[in-house]
Amino acid sequence: MSSPVPSAPADRPDRSRTALVRRARKINRVLAQTYPEAGCELDFQDPFELLVATVLSAQTTDRRVNAATPTLFGRWPDAGALAGADRAEVEEVIRSTGFYRAKTDSILRLSAALVADHDGQVPRRLADLVKLPGVGRKTANVVLGNAFDVPGLTVDTHFARLVRRFGWIDADSLKDPVRTEHAVGELFERRDWTMLSHRLIWHGRRRCHARRPACGACPVAHWCPAFGEGPTDPEVAEALVTTQGRA
């Protein structure tokens, strides 16, 4: 995954709304070229599997979830089966994902709610998804965008960090994930939201790390007001780039 040597942002960037939209969309286009394979890194076969896997992904890596879910779904392939599963058995299967007792409670209650309220099927509306136990807007948007092709923005820690560094939102909006979602959504066409989320998350996992972003190996450095938060020397920065996500 090679990177061009970045150039620093202009000293006096145009701060108008029009310029902000143009910079944001330029960054999205460059990230699309940088990560053409960007997409959901959770393995799933249907909306139910994606919903459960997303709940399990909290505070752990997608790799750990992907290691556990084949056994989980092999034994309990749908909401009806999982709703009736033995708690201790489920805990043992998902133990490696961390916080396994709380996560077991969430996916058992989630499955029971799907059976009771939606005939065992995952609903296709945000309003219905967020009423399910353990499901917030972030999880709901992951499912809508990747299982049902309904555009949504996934405001996770990577997404929030990057939109702050890019200067796409103000400090007040950053305090509230819903306000962040709406503020970023206004910069892009709705049809681009899901893939934008993937690209930002991929970039955050691979280059724009929380502690030491690889600024000197960043393809969007020229449009980033936070250029310099991490090493700007290309060789030093390139050593920080990962070919797979850290989380």
Catalytic hit among 156, 175, 176, 192: 156
Please say if 156 is a catalytic residue.
Answer: yes
Please say if 138 is a catalytic residue.
Answer: yes
3-state DSSP assignment of residue 175: coil
Catalytic hit among 11, 46, 131, 138: 138
Residues marked as catalytic = 138, 156
